[in-house]
Amino acid sequence: MLFNSIEFIIFLPTVFLLYWFVFKKLNLQNVFVVAASYLFYGWWDWRFLLLIALTSLCSYLSGTGIERHEGNRRRQKRISALNIVLNLSILCCFKYFNFFSENFAQLLRSFGCEPDAVTLNILLPVGISFYTFQALSYTIDVYRHRLKATHDPAAFFAFIGFFPQLVAGPIERATNLLPQFTRPRTFDCDRAADGMRQMLWGFFKKVVVADNCALFANGVFENYEAMSGSALLAGALFFTVQIYGDFSGYSDIAVGTARLFGIDLMRNFNCPYFARDIAEFWRRWHISLTTWFRDYVYIPLGGSRGGRWKSVRNTAVIFLVSGFWHGANWTFIAWGAYHALLFIPLLLLNKNRRYRDTVAEGHLFPNFKELLQMTVTFGLVLAGWIVFRAESIGQAAGYLKGMCDPSLFGIPAMPGIGISRALAATTLFFVFILFATEWLHRERAHGLSLRIQNRAARYIIYIVILLVILSSRATEPAAFVYFQF
């Protein structure tokens, strides 16, 4: 079920009313959350429910098993390893089997063999990377004694399957989200109202900005060989805005929806395009995944301990794995390697932690140095998104080569994509509204944390945004980009 669908508009208020007014007791609320979440997830294909149920059950049993063998570290290690291997095997089977099979067959062909690649004709379950990593965090944290194993299956299944963040994050830690399902929750009107504001801002990002930018980005990338350099740059800019509006919009809707149910989810984006270097960008982009890899891969590998070059090695591993997490394609690995190459010099110069504050804090405008840093960082990120968006390494190389043509300095023309100048102007206007609003609220939780004291003025703004969203909604709602990961 998509957030931007008629079904969700019916689903959410129904679940909300039943949750607070019918299923008032904690255990009943948790059971109802599981049922509602499974309905939400099974709306795409009910068969996907078998996988998430299996992941939840195995992870729940691994936690109780680790606790049962307290004092026997070897047995605990085996139980946690078994669950980790099982969940990663399921993920790899659905997401990476064909990639490895096809590349292995191609490798053998380079040695003169002619094997047929064995591929699986199966659908990739929506959000499998997200809920798998969430389940793994529980097992690892119980094994590390950072969290006690839960004996409440309803609470645990609700933690894994909580519908707002089930299919595209944030990837919640068991230490944050699970305890919220084990204690009574009370309705807070102010908290719910702020959640609705954040949802509204998320829908604006997705429906008004991202979906319209996608029309241009898709048209340019699908016809890149016929485009001028300036059109290719425009297409890359549109995709750069699209992926941010789409993914951060989903996160805003997820966080806001969770607040309606008395649940706090972590912030997943913090104005990443205002970053002053690549290290700051990664502290602000997809925060839940970045910190997951830091805590469960980078630090266990040794982190920054053991010398500078081990730090470099571990950093490179993190970026390559992060790229591969996004999909079974060499473009994602190349994208991860590209960011590693940008990040490692900052690490070697001990400058990877220099920007931990808010840019131009306390000022309306950035100074010249900050503006230059943000522009350069944005340009580097944009180049990476071209590789990320491309269907193949060859297409990425061709796109980048075409963008370096002297026509880069001409007026962009996008022949053959059938989009009017009026739509282009309107889209650019809303892109400006998005970034101007987020700049003004960069020290706050989301773009509609308005400082306007006049209640009437605030509600006029909300109504205008809602009307813009409704007028921008396509006949067929577009899926979120990160559903494929």
Q: Is residue 342 part of a domain?
A: no
Q: Is residue 157 part of a domain?
A: yes
Which residue bears the tokens 């691994």?
Answer: 62
CB atoms within 10 A of CB 182: 16
Residues annotated as part of the active site: 326
- My answer on whether 233 and 254 are in the same domain is yes
Work out the end-to-end distance of the chain between its first and last CA atoms, rounded to an integer number of angstroms: 16
- My answer on whether 85 and 106 are in the same domain is yes
Query: Are the C-beta atoms of residues 219 and 414 closer than 8 Å to each other?
Result: yes
The residue from 185, 211, 244 where one domain ends is 185
Q: Is residue 298 part of a domain?
A: no
Domains of the chain: total: 2
- My answer on whether 165 and 57 are in the same domain is yes
Main-chain dihedrals φ then ψ at residue 16, nearest 5 degrees: -60, -50
Q: Is residue 103 part of a domain?
A: yes
Q: Is residue 411 part of a domain?
A: yes
CA angle in degrees (0–180, nearest 5) for 370-375-377 = 95
What is the C-alpha to C-alpha distance for residues 396 and 377, in angstroms, rounded to an integer?
20
- My answer on whether 37 and 111 are in the same domain is yes
CB atoms within 10 A of CB 343: 21
- My answer on whether 363 and 414 are in the same domain is yes
- My answer on whether 140 and 257 are in the same domain is no
Q: Is residue 85 part of a domain?
A: yes
The residue from 140, 167, 185 where one domain ends is 185
The residue from 122, 150, 185 where one domain ends is 185
Per-residue pLDDT in tens (0 to 9) along the chain, 485 residues: 788 888 999 999 999 999 999 998 999 999 999 999 999 999 888 888 999 999 999 999 999 999 999 888 899 999 999 999 999 999 888 888 777 776 666 766 666 676 666 666 677 788 899 999 999 999 999 999 999 999 999 999 999 999 999 988 799 999 999 999 999 999 999 999 999 999 999 999 999 999 999 999 999 998 888 888 989 999 999 999 999 999 999 999 999 999 999 999 999 999 999 999 999 999 999 999 999 999 999 999 888 787 788 899 999 999 999 999 988 889 999 999 999 999 999 999 999 889 888 999 889 899 999 999 999 999 999 999 999 999 999 999 999 999 988 888 887 777 767 777 788 889 999 999 999 999 999 888 888 887 777 888 888 999 999 999 988 865 566 777 877 66
Instruction: List Cα–Cα distances, 93 to 86, 256, 292, 481, in angstroms.
Output: 11, 33, 22, 22
pTM over 0.95: no
- My answer on whether 158 and 101 are in the same domain is yes
- My answer on whether 264 and 162 are in the same domain is no
- My answer on whether 160 and 197 are in the same domain is no
Q: Is residue 334 part of a domain?
A: no
- My answer on whether 22 and 149 are in the same domain is yes
- My answer on whether 255 and 130 are in the same domain is no
Q: Domain of residue 117: give its range.
A: 6-185
Q: Is residue 159 part of a domain?
A: yes
- My answer on whether 156 and 199 are in the same domain is no
Name the nearest CA neighbour of 342 among 316, 367, 324: 316
Instruction: List Cα–Cα distances, 269 to 25, 77, 231, in angstroms.
Output: 33, 34, 28
